[in-house]
Structure 1
Amino acid sequence: MDKTPLGTNSKASPKHNSTESTAAELFSKEELARYNRHIIIPEFGKEGQTRLKKSKVLVVGSGGLGSPMLLYLAAAGVGTIGIIDFDKVEDSNLQRQVLFGTEDIGIPKVDAAKRRLKAINPFINIEVYHQKLTSENALELISKYDVVADGTDNFPTRYLVNDASVLAGKTNVYASIFQFEGQVSVFNLLKDGKRGPNYRDLYPSPPPAGLVPSCAEGGVLGVLPGIIGSLQALEVIKVITGVGDTLSGQLYTFDAFSFQSKTFKIKSKDSNPLNGTKPTLTKLIDYEQFCNHGQVEEKIKEIDVDELYALLANKESFQLIDVREQHEFDLVNINGDHIPLEDISENADKIKKDRKVVIHCKMGGRSAKAIRELESKYGFNNLFNLKGGIDAYLRKYDSNFDQA
């Protein structure tokens, strides 16, 4: 069993008496009682708990994955937990983000998270960053921590976390979820003097924009983030303590619908632009641009919410089409024609060709896909995507907006 702590190859395990002495000095009686169920595990013991106490973990995102992960990392006794998230708690978060309650709606997630975690474990330190992780701040922030745990739900941030972790020499514990499916892996783990595979060995480039919807657009079974986020917390603890075998070089997948799980091997590739044989990336890039690179996104005409508001206010002759699902439309809509994305092609004859047509969904991904399909199959040249979708429109023009 590899007991390498913090993703390094150091096995400088103190002798039993030294460990006992260090633990006695490091932990109060209350902490020793709190962590007793860890300490009595022979493979874990006071040494494992000491490593947790001395560790620093940065959790990127405190949403579906971050919520259960943060709860268990705090309860386990990780000494310093950093949380970076620029979002606020919304009502629709509460279906899966168990870190928050109704009383937290409207509060920055990092502040609500800190309050909850300190209530769970007052013996740990919580550092919060109410901001967006960017190519300007990622390296400096990640360099302060031993391990990074990626709980994000979008490709630009996912690649940013991976690349910054590789460049900073940090282990990245990764997870993702969508509808009924989740996956977990450990990237860039240092073992025997060599770094393990990273996210770009698995996915060198992002998929076409709009092809893979986010959880906000495609949905996610509420309990799934709890399962996957807990597995992510498990891998963080294993990386820190060196107890057990991690998912370095492996991708674990779980299908909640069929209750099937599989584990695939991942190998480092010579073509990896970060740490392959001929690396081409030596600094962080513009990840929003990278994740839209080579797509036909630029060919799609767009209007912003102000332009749509002007069209509606001036009662101009145009057609507004909503391609969300029926339940989304029933929850809130802005009086457009409702044609779900899956039915868009067979209803092409209902779409006007003699005037401007504005197509929207929740955030812009599905409507962009609808426009591509209509333009390629039926030659439409009068279609405009609503930038930011109905969420952006209601956020600006409806004071009662909560979540579309």
Structure 2
Amino acid sequence: MLTRAELNRYNRQMILPELGPEGQEKLKVARVLVIGAGGLGCPVLQYLAAAGAGTIGIVDDDVVELSNLQRQILYNHNDIGQPKAKVASAKLALLNPHVNFTVYYERFTPANAIAICQEYDLIIDCSDNFSTRYLVNDTCVSLGITLIFGSILGFEGQVAVFNHQGGTNYRDLYPAPPAESMTCAAGGVIGILPGIIGLYMANEAVKLICNIGETLSGKLMTIDALNNNVSVFKITSEKQTPTIKSETKAIKEIDQATLAQWLLAHKDEVFLIDVREDYEHEENNLGGVNISLYELNNSLDAIPKNKKIVCYCQTGQRSKMAVQLLEGIYTGQVYSLTGGLV
């Protein structure tokens, strides 16, 4: 039951017909684990605590540094050198004393992943490295827990909901981690972007907990804050139908044998686009130009209008997304390579 103080505190969201007292009750009993209390974790934690998520776990083994303060606005200069998870918990308790916080001032590793995650019914991945992302995903898959994913770099961010009711997971989109990964420390990030992406992640969490609205399950939202481009792509997995369907027609796909025939007989009529990241293209490729899926919208001038366009990636997932994007703005024939390089 909600107390009188809680009824007053959450009044503005409880009067929403989609949420109501029933939704607030669901929030109160929810158990949410946030992995990472950095750029993404700060807004996620602040807004979930303010919304009244009953129990929030915080996993982070890092301490506050001066370079964090440009984007991790839960912290201030006096917090430098202090553990992020402990500082966040203390400040969030002041924001909302009705929320219970559990602090895990430790690194999320294979040794503790199961023990930590099994105590929660929703996991939010706010980590900043590939090894943790894959560990979080695989743990959620093994435990059958829904995962909210977010990532940021430069001016671009991604949000998705994985493993919800048996839906797609992170490996359906990115089967394996790269040998080397670009991080915010190396590639930079605009300070406002974590707030934008983190708020979307918190919003997805509220919708999932309260069972309202349409979520990003089976979808990937990409946001380019520099050019104000927002795209939502559908994701499929091997256990689902292999062809993504748009509102009007199915995505056109060709197999390896057909592509080989086209290149042998009519090479000058085919334009290949590797929509993976540059480090993936450098490791191995089928030729053609390398335009990342997330740069495609800004690189249309580089695509000829009098050729068959064939997009490919590692597994066929991102190439299908590329076709979805191009078919909305490009009048030529656009295809995805079935199954990708694997």
TM-score by length of 1: 0.59
Pick aligned residue for 1:249 from 205, 215, 218: 218
> Deviation digits for residues 196-235 of structure 1, max 9, x if unmatched?
10000000011232xx410011110000000000000001
1:270 Cα deviation (Å)? 4.3
Look up the equivalent residue of 2:143 and give its one-letter code: A
Match of 1:52 among 27, 45, 55: 27
State the partner residue of 2:200: 231
State yes or no: 1:116 paired with 2:87.
no
Matched, 1:29 2:16: no
Which residue number in structure 1 is paired with residue 77 of structure 2? 102
Taking the aligned partners of 2:27 and 2:238, their CA distance within structure 1 comes to 32
Aligned equivalents of 1:201 and 1:270: distance in 2? 10
Q: CA deviation at 1:98?
A: 1.0
- SS at 1:182's partner residue? strand
CA distance in 2, matches of 1:270, 1:233: 28
2:174 to 203, 206, 227: 203
Counterpart AA for 2:233: F
Match of 1:269 among 235, 238, 245: 238
Count, aligned residues:
242
The RMSD of aligned alpha carbons is 1.3
Which SS does the other structure have where 2:57 is aligned? strand
Q: For 1:133 and 1:270, how far apart are their aligned partners in 2?
A: 29
2:16 to 41, 46, 61: 41
Paired AA for residue 260 in structure 1: N
Displacement after TM superposition at 1:252 (Å): 0.2
Relative contact order higher in (CA < 8 Å, ≥ 6 apart) = 1
Partner of 2:182: 213
Q: Which structure has the greater CA radius of gyration? A: 1
Q: Give every structure 1 segment of 4 or more consecutive aligned residues whose post-TM-superposition deviation is greater than 4 Å.
A: none
| 3-state SS of 2:62 partner | coil
Amino acid at match of 1:121: N
1:171 to 138, 146, 170: 146
SS of the aligned residue for 1:95 comes to coil
Give the Cα–Cα distance (whole angstroms) in 2 for the partners of residues 51 and 269 of structure 1: 33
For 2:66, which of 74, 81, 91 is the aligned residue? 91
CA distance in 1, matches of 2:52, 2:238: 36
SS class of match (1:244): coil
Q: CA deviation at 1:261?
A: 0.4
Q: Deviations over 1:95-137 (max 9, x none)?
A: 0001111111110001110111001100110000000000011
CA positional deviation for 1:43:
1.1
Match of residue 44 from structure 2: 69
TM-score, normalization: structure 2?
A: 0.69
- Give, in whole Å, the separation in 2 of the partners of 1:124 and 1:117: 8
**2:103 is equivalent to residue 128 of structure 1:** yes
Unaligned runs of 5+ in 1: 1-25, 272-294, 297-404
| Offset at residue 155 of structure 1 (A) | 0.3
User: SS in structure 2 opposite 1:254?
Assistant: strand
Deviation at 1:182, TM superposition (A): 0.1
Q: Secondary structure at the match of 2:204?
A: helix
> 2:152 aligned with 1:181, yes or no?
no
**Cα distance in 1 for residues equivalent to 2:39 and 2:238:** 31
SS at match of 1:253: strand
% identity of equivalent residues: 52
The 2-side partners of 1:149 and 1:270 are apart by 24
Paired position in structure 1 for 2:116: 141
